[in-house]
Structure 1
Amino acid sequence: MPRSQRRTGADPARLVAFEVLKAVRVEDAYTNLVLPALLRRHGLTGRDAGFATELASGTIRWQGTYDAILAACIDRPLRKVESKVLDALRLGCHQLLAMRVPTHAAISTTVDLVRDRVSAGAAGFANAVLRKVAQQDLEAWVAQVGTDPTTAYSHPGWVVDELRAALGGDAELGALLAADNEPPKVTLVARPGRSTRDELPGEPTAFSPYGVVLPGGDPGQAPAVAEGRAGVQDEGSQLVAIAAAAAPVEGLDARWLDLCAGPGGKAALLAALAAECGAGLVASERQVHRAQLVRRSLRGAGGVLGVVAADGTAAPYRPGTFDRVLVDAPCTGLGALRRRPEARWRRRPADLVELTALQRRLVDGALDLTRPGGIVLYATCSPVLAETSGVVTAVLEGRADAVLEDVGQLLPDVSDAAGPLPGTMQLWPHRHGTDAMFLALLRKS
C-alpha cells in the first residue's frame, strides 16, 4: 500500500501541506496545480481544504522570513537540516506566527508529522526548535533577525531590487511586498455570449465588466463555471483580453490570434469577445500539453477558428494574416507572486536574459503576422523593467513598421496605472488588487 494511503498519526490537512512543499522542492511543482489533486487524494473539503491551502501557500510565501527565524533557533546551518524536517519546521512556523492555531496544537501536530514522516529522533529535534520559535511573535522575531525588506517581507534580494526599480523608488515598496504576501481572492469571469456576471456569485470587480470576486467557497460549485461558460481568472488578465479586443483596427477585423495561449484563460475570454464582433480566434501554444489545456478551455465556445500547437517565434502562418494579435509572453511571473508564491524562490537573475530575448522574438514575430493597420498587444505578468519597457524599446528600435499607441485609452476606468513608457500600462497588486500585468499596444504601420 502506498505510504500516502497508510493509516498515519499525522493530521491530514497538515500532511497535504507537507506533501505540497515536497512537490515544490523536489519536482519544481506549482502550488496551485499540485494542491487540488492532493486535496482530493486525502478527501479534504471545506474548512480542512482551506486550512491546508493557506498552510502550504503561506509557508512558501514566508519561507525566507521563517528560515531566518529558524536559523536563530538552530545551532547548525539550515543546509545541514534534513529537507523533510526543514519543510515541517517551516509549516510549524507558519502556524505559530501567522495563523490562529494554538501554540500547543501547532507544535504537537508538527511533531507528529515529523515522527510519522521522518523519525522519533527528528520529532524531538522539531519539538525543541518550535518551542524556541513560540517564545516570540512574528513582529518581535523580525525585529531580531532583520528588518530589511528581504527578511521582513520574504523576498529574495534581487527581486526586491527589481520591484524597487519598477516602482521608481522605496515609497510604495513595502506596500507592494506586503500585497505579494496576501492570499489572493478568487476572481471569476463570465464569458460574453455564454454567461453573464449576474449569474455568478460574488461582488463585481472594480474594472472588468465581466468579473466577480468570490467571498469564499469552491468556484466549481457555480453552474456557469462547472459548465465552462465562465472561469477563474484574475481581473488583470481579464483586462488584458479586454484591451486586446477593444483596440481599434483599420479596415477588416475578422482574424485574431492569441500567440501564447496556454493554459487558455485569456483565449477563452478573447474568443467570446471575438464572436461578439463577428471575428474568429486562432489560439496558438508551443507546448502540446498546454495546447490541450487551451482546447479544453475553448470547448463549446464560439469564435474559435482553431487551436494550434506551434512555436510563436516561428509560427506557421503567412505574414500579415491577422488583424490583431495578443502576445501574453512567458516571463518571470514576478507580478503574480500572490498566486504563484514559489516563483520568488525559483527564478534567478540569469532567467531575465533568456526570457527577454524570447519576448522580443515573440513580439517581432507577432508584428510580422499582423497586417498593416492591425495591432499587437504585448502583455507580461511582470513589472520588471527588462521585461516591459526594455522589450518594447528594443522592438521599436529594430523596426520601422510599428508604433506605440496609448493602451490606457482602452481601459479608461483604470487609474494610477501609468507604465514605464508613455502610453503603456502597469497594474499593481497594492494599487489595483490585480496581478502586476504590463500592457503595451503596438500598431503595424
Structure 2
Amino acid sequence: MTSEQGGRSSRSNPGAGNQGAGGTRRRDDSGRERNRSTGRNRTTAAPSQRSRAADPARLVAFEVLRAVSSDDAYANLVLPSRIRHHKLDRRDAGFATELAYGALRAQGTYDAILARCVDRPLSELDPAILDALRIGVHQLVAMRVPAHAALDQTVGLARAVIGAGPSALINAVLRKVAAKELPEWLTELTAGLTDEVKVASIEHSHPEWIVRSLRQALVAHGREVSEITALLEADNSAPVVNLVALPGLGSLDEAFEAGFTPGELAVDSALSSGGDLGRLASVREGTVRVQDVGSQLVARALAGVDISSELKDGEERWLDLCAGPGGKAALLGALAAEKGAWILANEPTPHRAKLVEQALAAVPEHTWSVRTGDGRDVGVDHPESFDRVLVDAPCTGLGALRRRPESRWRRKLSDVTELGPLQRELLTSALAAVKPGGVVAYVTCSPHIAETITVVEDVMRKRADLELLDAGAALDAVSLTGNLGAGNTSSELATNKMTAQLWPHIHQTDAMFLALIRKL
C-alpha cells in the first residue's frame, strides 16, 4: 500500500468505534477519557500539528477489530458494511482491508512485540486500546507507511474514538515499537528458543497447537514436515478472490471484462485480487458466485465420479447433507440440473436454510428442494435414497485461515475433540442415506488428522459394505491440470493413500480434504 495513506486526515464521526472502550478512569460528557496525569508520555508534535480526527480508512479497520474482539463478529462480514458506511473509495478500501486483515492475522506476533513495550500485562489494557495498538504496529512493521504518519494517524484515531489519555499511552508504546524493524523484533522474541514449534508460532503468528497440528497433517497426508514454513506463510497471504460460473447458467465474460483472469485449476472459474464484486450483474443475479477453487473441485469430483447404483430408476437423486450457507449446494445444483438429476439440500438452522434457498434461486426450481432438519436424521428418514451425497462436515476450518484471519485466535484444540462425534454421526447418516453403488463425499476445510483420516477410518471400520475410491484421481479428472498431486500416494496406510488433500501453499486453495466412499 502506498505511503500516501499516511498523511491524509478526514473528519469522521468521533463516536464511531467507541464500543468496548470503557475503563475505570474519568471520562468527559462525550465519553472520552480525560488525561489528568502530568507524568504521561506525550507526543512530541505541537498541538497544532496533532491529528484530531480519525482517518476514515483506519477508522474502518479499527471498527472491524472492535467488532471481532468484542462481538465475536467475522471480519469478512463486518468489513464490507463498514467500507460502505464510511463511503471509502477503492484505494482507501484496499488500505482498510490490508490494515484490518493484516492486524488480525499477525495478532500473535504483534502482541508479543507489544508485551515488550507495555509496562503491564496486555490483558490489563482496555481492549479498544489494544486494538488501536495492533493497527499501529501493523503499519509500522508490515506496511509502507512512514513511521511518523503511522504514529500520527494512529494517535489521532485513538484521540478521536477512545480519548486523550489512551492516545498518549498509544503514542509512547508505538514509539518503542518503531525503534526496531520486524526482523529485529523477531530475533529478539525468538532468542534462546530451541523448540521449532514455538519459533514458528512467533514468526508466523499461529497458535502453537495449530502449528503442531499442521506439521502432523503434512506428514500424515504424504508431505514433508519442512513445508510447514511455506504453509504458514500461505496462511498469512491475502487470498485471491475465486469466482465460479454455475454450469449452464452463468458466464464469466463480464468478470473478464472487469479484469478477472481465467482460473488455472477449475473450469468456469476466474481469479481476482479483489474489488467490489457487487458491481458484477452476474454476481448479483447469483449465476456467478464467489467460491474457493478447492470447494469447486471437491463438488465437481463428487458430480463426476462413476456410480453403479443398484437401485437406480430414472433420474439420479443427490444430497447435500450440510448445505449452509449454500455455496457448494448451488454448484452441485447446477451440475445436477445439467445431468438431469435432482438434489436435496439439508440445513439444520432455519436462517441458514434460507441462505441455501437464496443460493439455489438461480438453479431451475424443479431440480432442487431444501430440507430444514438435523442431518443426522436423514439416514433414518431417507434410507438408501440418494446416488451421490456430499458431507461438508462442520470442522475447525484450519484450512481456511487465509480467508478467516480471526479464526486462528478463536479456535481451541478442544474444538477438534468436540466436533469429532458430530462428524462421525453425519458421515454415518450419509452412508445410511446413499444407495448401494452410490458414493458419499466426506469433505472438510481442515487438514487436521482427527477431522479427516481418523473420522473416515473410524466410520468405515464399523461396516463391511464400503470401499474407498481414489479421491486424488477424481480431483485430477475434473481439474484443468489433470495432475494436482493431491493424492497421498506415498503413505503406507491404505486409507491415507485413497484420500486427497489440497493445500494453500501448493494449490493456492483452501486446505480441502476429500474422501470418496462407495457403498457396495
Instruction: Please state which band the TM-score falls in when normalised by the shorter chain.
Output: over 0.9
Equivalent-residue separation in structure 1 for 2:413 and 2:475 (angstroms)? 32
Q: Match for 1:152: what amino acid?
A: E
- Within 5 Å, give how 1:141-152 maps onto structure 2: 141-146=185-190, 148-152=199-203
Q: Could you tell me which of 6, 28, 40 is aligned with 2:84?
A: 40
Q: Could you tell me which of 282, 287, 291 is aligned with 2:353?
A: 291
Equivalent-residue separation in structure 2 for 1:196 and 1:10 (angstroms)? 42
Q: Is 1:273 matched up with 2:354?
A: no
- Within 5 Å, give how 1:293-308 maps onto structure 2: 293-302=355-364, 304-308=367-371
**Which residue of 1 is the match for residue 502 of structure 2?**
427
359-368 or 39-48: which moved more? 39-48
- Within 5 Å, give how 1:129-140 maps onto structure 2: 129-140=173-184
Q: Is 1:160 matched up with 2:235?
A: no
Q: Could you tell me which of 324, 332, 341 is aligned with 2:388?
A: 324
Deviation at 1:414, TM superposition (A): 3.9
Q: Is 1:116 matched up with 2:171?
A: no
Aligned residues: 445
Q: Deviations over 1:394-424 (max 9, x none)?
A: 0111122221111122222242312471111
**Which residue of 1 is the match for residue 375 of structure 2?**
312
The gaps in structure 1 that reach 5 residues or longer are none
Which secondary structure does the structure 2 equivalent of 1:400 belong to? coil
- Within 5 Å, give how 1:3-82 maps onto structure 2: 3-4=15-16, 9-82=53-126
Q: Is 1:387 matched up with 2:451?
A: yes
Deviation at 1:117, TM superposition (A): 2.0
Deviation at 1:5, TM superposition (A): 9.7
Answer whether contact 2:473 2:487 (CA < 8 A) is retained: no
Equivalent-residue separation in structure 2 for 1:122 and 1:276 (angstroms)? 60
**Which residue of 1 is the match for residue 437 of structure 2?**
373
Equivalent-residue separation in structure 2 for 1:210 and 1:414 (angstroms)? 18
Q: Is 1:255 matched up with 2:317?
A: yes
**Which residue of 2 is the match for residue 212 of structure 1?**
270
Which secondary structure does the structure 2 equivalent of 1:417 belong to? coil
Q: Match for 2:123: what amino acid?
A: R
Q: Match for 2:394: what amino acid?
A: P
Q: Match for 2:502: what amino acid?
A: L
Q: Is 1:355 matched up with 2:355?
A: no
Equivalent-residue separation in structure 1 for 2:346 and 2:326 (angstroms)? 10
The verdict on how the C-alpha distance between 1:3 and 1:118 changes in structure 2, with shifts beyond 3 A counting, is closer
Q: Is 1:417 matched up with 2:500?
A: no
Q: Runs of 4 or more off by more than 6 Å in structure 1?
A: 5-8
The verdict on how the C-alpha distance between 1:215 and 1:154 changes in structure 2, with shifts beyond 3 A counting, is closer
Which secondary structure does the structure 2 equivalent of 1:362 belong to? helix
The verdict on how the C-alpha distance between 1:71 and 1:185 changes in structure 2, with shifts beyond 3 A counting, is same
Deviation at 1:82, TM superposition (A): 1.3
Q: Is 1:96 matched up with 2:140?
A: yes
The verdict on how the C-alpha distance between 1:360 and 1:184 changes in structure 2, with shifts beyond 3 A counting, is same
Which secondary structure does the structure 2 equivalent of 1:35 belong to? helix
Q: Deviations over 1:364-387 (max 9, x none)?
A: 000001010000000000000000
Equivalent-residue separation in structure 1 for 2:203 and 2:471 (angstroms)? 36
Q: Deviations over 1:272-324 (max 9, x none)?
A: 10011000111111111111111111113126321111111112732011111
Deviation at 1:231, TM superposition (A): 0.6
Deviation at 1:2, TM superposition (A): 9.9
Answer whether contact 2:502 2:509 (CA < 8 A) is retained: yes
Answer whether contact 2:442 2:515 (CA < 8 A) is retained: yes
The verdict on how the C-alpha distance between 1:405 and 1:87 changes in structure 2, with shifts beyond 3 A counting, is same
Equivalent-residue separation in structure 1 for 2:515 and 2:252 (angstroms)? 27
435-444 or 117-126: which moved more? 117-126
Q: Match for 1:91: what amino acid?
A: I
Equivalent-residue separation in structure 2 for 1:89 and 1:116 (angstroms)? 14
Equivalent-residue separation in structure 2 for 1:159 and 1:232 (angstroms)? 27
The gaps in structure 2 that reach 5 residues or longer are 1-12, 19-29, 31-51, 192-198, 477-481
Answer whether contact 1:207 1:414 (CA < 8 A) is retained: no
Answer whether contact 2:17 2:59 (CA < 8 A) is retained: no
Q: Deviations over 1:321-363 (max 9, x none)?
A: 1111000111000000000111111011111111111111110
Deviation at 1:215, TM superposition (A): 4.1
Which secondary structure does the structure 1 equivalent of 2:368 belong to? strand
Answer whether contact 2:300 2:332 (CA < 8 A) is retained: yes
Which secondary structure does the structure 2 equivalent of 1:324 belong to? strand
Q: Match for 1:310: what amino acid?
A: G
TM-score using structure 2 length: 0.83
TM-score using structure 1 length: 0.96
